[in-house]
Structure 1
Amino acid sequence: MSQLPERTDVVVIGGGVIGNSIACQLAEAGVGTVLLERGALGSGSSGTTAGVVRTYFPGNPLISSLAVRSLAAYHAFSERTGTDLGLRRIGLLVLFTDEHQVQDFRDTQAAQQAAGVDVELVTAAEAVRLNPLADERTILAAAWSPEAYACDPAAIVRGYATAAQQAGAILRTETPVTGIDPDGRVHTPAGSIRADTIVCAAGPWAGTVAAMADVHLPVTTYPVDMLLTDTPDSAPRSALPMTIHPSSLRIRSWGDRILVGMGRPAPDETRQSWLQRVSHHLGTTFPALAGDGLEYGWSGDLDVSPDGMAFIGRDPSRPFLYAAGFSGQGLCQAPAAGEIIRNLVLDKKSWTDTAGLSAARCLSGSVEAG
């Protein structure tokens, strides 16, 4: 393990897509940056998702605005660096099964479009045209957003990590943080380093890392399993869009197979019961998949906030910043999150009001800048 430098402007803790985006943008702004990752780059939540970047997040225009900005940044990054991020447009289809979901969409569509989201309400028949595996009889309508892309999360992490290093950042893997002193000294098995500012981007471990600095960050872990099933002969040759059902069931094409997600068994639920529940929703919504065997794909832990929206901000009493609790949406927000953190370090205003992203919203009685 390489010896750490004695000091730096910023230590970023966490080497997933969020941490590498932050390190890249700080280093390119001329900020001395050292990133510390407890394992391999991208070995946490970044490799756990369904590998889709999208701009539409129902009910939350603020998240959508971050996602819109992030998608544009991915395209610009790929063009600027020549890095292939695996971006391939597939679109997003959100199915509605009752009237209040349709009304909620209508109530928020203007705010979503103001945030830059391309999304429209489509009929059940149009939804089935977009995803022919869906059963029109089970759908009232759907939201269709064409700006959703399959991507390669590992390539995104590698791309930002490479750009960060080229800009002067130091990246250290297999270097877990074991302690944080009040003066900003960060301890690891490879030695200690003092930073003017610490940024916590540690994903599922963010709460633990923050506690080392005597900061309360209400991030918990949520385990997920991703499943695979065979593509039926009736499926179209073109890729299926990412399709989300109100039950939280989601599917999309995955090579020549279909990726299926719906969380993981509840604490009081056996794995077999959960698989039966997934199979039931799958067969009801997508009849052509009824009876097909579900195979294990991969699993992991997501970092989750109490309200499902990321924490991006600063502690009010010390130079400790955070970007965590992305609740499975980190790939969609990483470039924007990195930009916000960079601006906080440089004491610059961001393009939008980011106060609502502060952890203060979930900490009763606290007041926090952000």
Structure 2
Amino acid sequence: MTVSALPARADAVVIGGGVIGTSAAHHLAEAGVDTVLLERGTLGGGASAHTAGMVRTYFPGAPATGHRAVRSLHAYHDFARRTGAPLGLKRLGFMALFTDEEQIAGFEADRPAQQAAGVDVRLISPREAVALNPLIDERAVLAAAWSPEAYHVDGLDIVRGYAAGARNHGARLYTHTPVTRIDDDNTVHTPRGTITADSIVCTAGPWSGEVAALASVDLPLAPQAIEMLFTDVPPSPQGELPMTMHAASGLRIRSWKDRVLLAMGAPGAGETRDAWLGRVAGHLGTLFPALDGTGLHRAWSGDFDASPGNTAFIGAHATRRFVYAAGFTGAGLCQAPAAGEQLRDLLIAT
């Protein structure tokens, strides 16, 4: 949206135009809240564009995240009706591979809370895991968690759909409009001008801590780097693979067109990229022998907003009209609809 200046006021100013921010703008505008969204770059140009393109409901050890993800998946199935923009959800499923008995015990202890949250997940044998993902070495795993409710989706389709829905309900969205200062009265300063908000909604992803600090709000967040990798094109075509995660290392793989897409964080402090790639290749070869020795190539990289416990912060400041949703640690796509609903409810309640 190209305009010369910002409006003088708005009920809500959403800062950040990724999947969480556009969801918030849509849900607020749909509820009749006069909403303006400010994005420092392009819509969805940050963390929302640097993901594996999966929405899932099972998060090991985090049933509260699973609860938001279940609510969000229901919303995605209803996305076209709510926003007018269809999503191409393609079911792949999600599997977590367990390589020691403690991981299995942890799964069993966690399962009642997962089921109470509405998460569809069960323990399967190595043979059943191989039937779902033939790349797995059956001898390398003891068991696996299998959750069929996991889908491929283009994160930018979600952003565009929510942005269109927000505009249809009267929200105004401004790109290339970084926030430079926030006054005590919630006047937001940008190179395009100033706007005073009854409430500020912070959804700036990896920059949420910086945005909150402008308003003298402390959010204990730290950007976390991740690099996605492609394998070489395999000599024989691969079938469609579920997203498969090694519980011990966090290595995740899934099919991506004619290759395999994988991720395992990024080089640690003091670790060279070559050393990190060696660790990735080691786990890859042990768990998925058909990929042993395959070339690994950078697909894309970026930063995510990480919270200390990898659980998102969604809340309202105690003394000023400032609400926030941050710390999704790469799982924002999975939780965006529910997060937008929570921000709407928090803002209306304050």
Deviation at 1:86, TM superposition (A): 2.4
Change over 3 Å in CA distance of 1:207–1:56 after alignment to 2: same
Query: 2 CA distance for matches of 1:318 and 1:296?
Result: 43
Q: Deviations over 1:234-263 (max 9, x none)?
A: 6653x1000000211100011111101011
Maintained 8 Å contact 1:132/1:236: no
Matches within 5 A, 1:261-276: 261-276=263-278
Deviation at 1:141, TM superposition (A): 0.2
Query: 2 CA distance for matches of 1:289 and 1:305?
Result: 33
Aligned to 2:101: 99
Give the residue type in structure 1 aligned to 2:212: A
The size of the alignment, in residue pairs, is 347
Does 2:23 match 1:17?
A: no
Maintained 8 Å contact 2:83/2:164: no
Query: 2 CA distance for matches of 1:212 and 1:176?
Result: 12
**In structure 2, the residue corresponding to 1:27 is in which secondary structure?**
helix
Matches within 5 A, 1:63-78: 63-78=65-80
Matches within 5 A, 1:1-370: 2-233=4-235, 236-237=238-239, 239-245=240-246, 246-347=248-349
Structure 2 unaligned residues grouped into runs of 5+? none
Query: 1 CA distance for matches of 2:235 and 2:114?
Result: 36
Change over 3 Å in CA distance of 1:81–1:342 after alignment to 2: closer
Query: 1 CA distance for matches of 2:25 and 2:280?
Result: 39
Query: 2 CA distance for matches of 1:4 and 1:281?
Result: 51
Query: 2 CA distance for matches of 1:58 and 1:78?
Result: 30
**In structure 1, the residue corresponding to 2:349 is in which secondary structure?**
coil
Aligned to 1:351: none
Query: 2 CA distance for matches of 1:74 and 1:328?
Result: 18
Maintained 8 Å contact 1:303/1:325: yes
**In structure 2, the residue corresponding to 1:275 is in which secondary structure?**
helix
Give the residue type in structure 1 aligned to 2:69: A
Query: 2 CA distance for matches of 1:83 and 1:236?
Result: 31
Query: 2 CA distance for matches of 1:323 and 1:308?
Result: 13
Structure 1 unaligned residues grouped into runs of 5+? 349-370
Maintained 8 Å contact 2:121/2:145: yes
TM-score for the superposition, normalised by structure 2: 0.97
Maintained 8 Å contact 2:56/2:151: yes
Deviation at 1:191, TM superposition (A): 0.4
